[in-house]
Chain A
Amino acid sequence: MNEQEFIVEMRGITKRFPGITANDGVSIQIRKGEIYAILGENGAGKSTLMSMLFGMIEPDEGEIFIRGKRERIDSPRRATQLSIGMVHQHFRLVSNYTVAENIILGMEPEKKCGPFPMVDIAGANAKVAALSERYGLQVDPTDVIEDLNVATRQRVEILKMLYREAEILIFDEPTAVLTPQEIAAFLDIVRGLRDQGKTVILITHKLEEIKQVADRCAILNRGKLISVMDVASSTTSDMARMMVGHEVSFSTPKAPPHFGSPVLRLENLTVKNAAGFNSVNSVSFEVRAGEVLGIAGVSGNGQNELADAIAGLQRCHGGKIILNGRDISNLSIRERVEAGVAYIPEDRHNVGLVLDFTLRDNLMLKQYYRARFAHRHVMDEIAFDEYGKELIGRYDIRSNQGDATITRSMSGGNQQKAVIARELDLKTPLVVFMQPTRGLDAGAVSNIHRQIIAERDRGAAVLLISLDLDEILDCSDTIAIIFQGHINKIAPAASLTVEEIGLYMMGVKGGEAA
């Protein structure tokens, strides 16, 4: 095969959504049998570009060539016919079906039952077993999906593509939900697929993984293609600089901290998940006034449960949560707000905001019942309006109709500003940030980081939980590392190196401390 012959070529692809241009004249060329990474920050347009290759959306401008032939890919079905497969960030599996049933869905092997056709389940199981053998993807065809862990489900998704004889395999943020060990195994699988002659496209923002497996890497920033680099001959810092569009600096300006007395103290806090498993396992630490405690960890190690338990959204099954000397572990959510817990939750769409409320009402969500705003349960509209306008001005929340804007119509950054404005204005002794910058662009991120530091300097105890290690390093005075529901290590930020933190996150080091 000719070196210069490309299996995928996208020329001048432009895609606009209301308000933003997600892709702006992007052209990429992918060779058969290479691992091609698409790198970019959140909102850089990586997923949009690949969604067009997989036929989920169609470009406004531009052309797509597959194996040198111009194609119109208007549906995933068409993409499948062109032997393109995609593993989405959110898996598309039927939870109560077996592995084999999921894999064959839509292309079922049939056999005859008398004159009638029926699904050949035994045949399907055998096929899937053979396929998993061939590519070294360990699965049992008869297992039911809902009993499987994330990494296994991912293997099922890969097998789904292979069953359809896909040659071009697209992965959207495949490692976001995996543990370090699983990531290593996954990268091995990807190499194996390349060795079998498949073309692999990885959408990611993790430089380390690209460095490990990718041959070439396209870098997107704000919808534009910045560069295509040969991975072997580039450094990660080069790639990082290109990705962000300016010199990478991990420095939010901050003064030295002044620690006060402990505000939050956890004593052997234990939270069980629905299956009765300890998702937070006997966690103890304290956060002092004027301190940012950052909790680092790989996704799914109990971070959500920890934050929810402190805010009262999940029940504690053991241990104590002590706020300023008072045990709040059995208080209701409302009582904890009154006791002084502000909480910026991870999911602003389903938890942090009532999307169909006006901006004003969302800003009132934690205070509408207070004497300042309601007398004998009758709300004071004037006080509502005044307060809403005040917060909008003070926190620079932009929307097209001011406080009467329906929150759903606002941009993600401004929605998050509204959540943060509401919570910070409670002026509580404890503020819990859970993934506060997820999905936001660089400008919004640094703004939020400044607010985190400002809270600290006001004298609040700040608990910052994030999957983004850079964020933790940028803001924290003290860093705790959580692994399998357990605090593995806790130390002043300055005393830890990134490599060390990484080892604790993977559970390689630590385990003795608690």
Chain B
Amino acid sequence: MTELLNMMIIDGLSFALPLFIMAIGGIYSEKSGITNLALEGFQGVGAFTGAFAAVFLAQSMTGALPYYVSFLCAIIGGGVFALLHALLCIRFRANQVISGVVMNILAMAMTTFLTKRINAAVFGHAGNKFLLGTSARFTVPVLSDIPVLGAVFTDVYPFEVIILVVAVVMSYVLYRTPFGLRLRACGDNPHSVDAAGVDVNRVRSVAVVISGCLSGIAGMSFAYSISANFSADIYLGYGYLSIAALIFGNWTILPAFGACLLFGLARSGGTVLIQQLGLPSSYNDLVRILPYVLTLVLLIFFSRSNRSPRALGEPYEKGKR
């Protein structure tokens, strides 16, 4: 029984944390007033860049370095790609929903195309994926012996630690620093920010790029855990799931963390349950519905009190009320 509970916590966390860091990215973007359906694409491009770096470095290097470099590259890749969303939404004033969808389409097309090209040109073989394998895990001695909670410290992916550290930093920046104060103001009343002498569109651009960087971490984490490679399979809708989580969390970080944990544990719990009941693995898909249904039901009950940022989705035009 404890065995099962442990499994549930371990798998749940390793899924919930990437989701969480992506949701923080979404919160950054949406709190600044830019609707972001492009998280799905951001995480894919991040995973692509990171995976390419990892595979490339693995030719000449061993040890943990490629692993960490890959995350750095994923952050850069996701961030650079996010610039395009910022450009479309802010400079070209494209509709933000449409831009988000287009970003996702582009991400998928571009990364699958480039993966094939690169495999042929750089690595000299045909293939539509970068093979990574799952990353090594570690167990914290002593702490992992605590009953139940010990599972949190058992079989931990290194990226989970990275994510937690980044998450704490990002929460601090959003809620405690001048930049965070201005960013959140942009999503409520950009005119007030402009009147205070701060460039609204610059703050928003930075916010979107941050969402790309954080999604890159998430994508790389998925590539190193669930899929064990980079391929088009990375686009499984996790980006949309993290959007569900951030809405569920009412655009604030801590409740969004709760939502991600709930989603993660529901997922792993479902898997464990289905194994225990001896059902075929296809029943897993039935469990996967849970977060979406939960979010939908919650929205029905709380849509009136649940408030998205007031200026969300509106391009900022100087001098216009």
Contacts and interface: CB of A to CB of B under 8 A. Distances in A.
Contact of A93 (B184, B189, B319): B189
A160 B185 CA distance: 15
Given A77-B197, A105-B182, A92 B177 contact: no
A318 to B, nearest CB: 23
A163 to B, nearest CB: 10
B198 interface: yes
A124 to B, nearest CB: 10
Given A56-B319, A106-B198, A113 B192 contact: no
Interface of A: 51, 56-57, 75-77, 80, 86, 88, 90, 92-97, 101-102, 104-108, 110, 113, 116-119, 160
Given A90-B321, A97-B188, A106-B197, A119 B176 contact: yes
A117 B193 CA distance: 20
Q: Give the one of A56, A105, A113 with max B CB within 10 A.
A: A105
A94 B177 contact: no
Contact of B177 (A56, A76, A77, A117): A117
A94 B197 contact: no
B191 interface: yes
Given A57-B319, A119-B181, A94 B192 contact: yes
B192 A102 contact: yes
A107 B181 CA distance: 11
7 contacts: A76-B197, A86-B195, A92-B195, A94-B189, A119-B178, A119-B181, A160-B196
Contacts of A113: 176
A80 B181 CA distance: 20
B194 A76 contact: yes
Contacts of A51: 319
A107 B188 contact: no
A93 B190 CA distance: 9
Contact of B192 (A56, A77, A80, A92): A92
Contacts of A160: 196
Interface string B206-250: 000000000000000000000000000000000000000000000
Contacts of A116: 172, 177
Given A117-B178, A119-B178, A76 B195 contact: yes
A504 to B, nearest CB: 32
B310 interface: yes
B272 to A, nearest CB: 41
A95 B191 CA distance: 12
Given A92-B189, A95-B188, A118 B310 contact: no
B178 A108 contact: yes
A329 to B, nearest CB: 25
Nearest to B180: A119
B116 to A, nearest CB: 44
